Amino acid sequence: MEQTPQTPITKIPIPPNGEYIRREHITLEEISQEAGLNLGTIDAETRGRLRLLHEKTATLKDERHAILLVKQFIENYEKNAEKKSFTIEEQRTVFLGTLLSDIGKTGPHGAPLPVQKCIAEMYGIDIDLEPPAEIMTVQEFLGKFFLDDAKRRLGLLSLVKVTPEMTMREFFKLHAKWTWSILKHAIGIPRDALVAAATHHVLEGVDPVGILEVENTENHKKPRLKLSRAAKLVILLDKYDAARSRGKLNHKDAIARLRSTISRNLRSAPDGEFAQLITDMEIVFTDNTLYDKAALE
């Protein structure tokens, strides 16, 4: 896959209390710049997908939330002499992996623009579903939120093998697979950032890259592809931010949920790097005011 030259990440001071995070009229260019990405250095499809995602959903505003956590975490490592600082390459992986993780909410690579818009608009419905996503079907979802043209939308979705009977939970899980399908064709994005973005739900078993597949050796089994420290941080920050901002958990409970998630995953449980990152997050984010009610409004 062709790669274009990468520019170093520019450090950006962390604003107090995350007050800028929920600013309504923020542009895609501003969000990308905060993640160290110059949109002019990437291919047109990836850039167009990001623009569509920003227009149709609040996803990139949420990613911006996580980007502030990334900055805080990495700067803490730089100040702590006992910690191995994140290299420029690792920083690019974390920032870009975070920014691009949900680009698949515009559908798979090769999807026609009307299909992309249809899928993005579905992900733009950001409320608790009733019945829940494990039960509600795609057809029921469209009938509830897009009644006037549900039939047309079903036709569009059929082009990417989304069926009326599919549950919304199954539909929502597709975005990680679609993220990988888009980014593996991208130009200007480091490979490790692509892997980090596409594997951000790997602890729930959503594994489009095949990271959890194992190869048999003479004495044991091992993963086909080892996750980097930066990719692991993308995964953990995604879970932490979701627990705090959407799950409304406090810091202590969010960290406890992370540890529980790791312990339930047989392949990640023995991984000391995951455990150390969680311990560091527990310390770094203890006094974080980003999730104060006033900062989230």
Tens-place pLDDT, residues 127-186: 889 999 999 999 999 999 999 999 999 999 999 999 999 999 999 999 999 999 999 999
Instruction: Identify whether 26 is part of a domain.
Output: yes
Q: Which residue has the higher pLDDT, 290 or 280?
A: 280
Instruction: Identify whether 204 is part of a domain.
Output: yes
Instruction: Identify whether 155 is part of a domain.
Output: no
Instruction: Identify whether 27 is part of a domain.
Output: yes
Tens-place pLDDT, residues 202-250: 888 888 877 766 555 555 555 555 789 999 999 999 999 989 988 889 9
Q: Which residue has the higher pLDDT, 213 or 10?
A: 213
Instruction: Identify whether 179 is part of a domain.
Output: no
Instruction: Identify whether 276 is part of a domain.
Output: yes
The pLDDT score that the predictor gives to residue 176 is 94
The pLDDT score that the predictor gives to residue 217 is 56
Instruction: Identify whether 116 is part of a domain.
Output: no
Q: Which residue has the higher pLDDT, 123 or 20?
A: 123
- Structural domain harbouring 63: 16-108+185-296
Domain count, the chain: 1
The pLDDT score that the predictor gives to residue 148 is 94
DSSP string, the chain: ---PPPPPPPP-PPPGGGTTTT-SS--HHHHHHHTT--GGGS-HHHHHHHHHHHHH-SHHHHHHHHHHHHHHHHHHHHH-TTS-PPPHHHHHHHHHHHHHTTGGGG-STT--HHHHHHHHHHHT--S--SS-TTT-BHHHHHHHH-GGGHHHHHHHHHTTT--TTSBHHHHHHHHHHHHHHHHTT-SSS-HHHHHHHHTTTGGGT--TT-TT-EEE-SS-EEESSPPPHHHHHHHHHHHHHIIIIIS---HHHHHHHHHHHHHH-TTTTT-HHHHHHHHHHHHHTTT--TTSHHHH-
With 50 as the cut, is the pLDDT of residue 4 above it? no
Instruction: Identify whether 219 is part of a domain.
Output: yes
pTM of the predicted model, to two decimals? Answer: 0.84
The pLDDT score that the predictor gives to residue 84 is 84
Tens-place pLDDT, residues 53-108: 999 998 998 888 889 899 999 998 888 877 888 999 999 999 999 999 999 999 99
The pLDDT score that the predictor gives to residue 145 is 96
Tens-place pLDDT, residues 30-51: 999 999 999 999 999 999 999 9
Stretch 3-20: mean pLDDT: 39
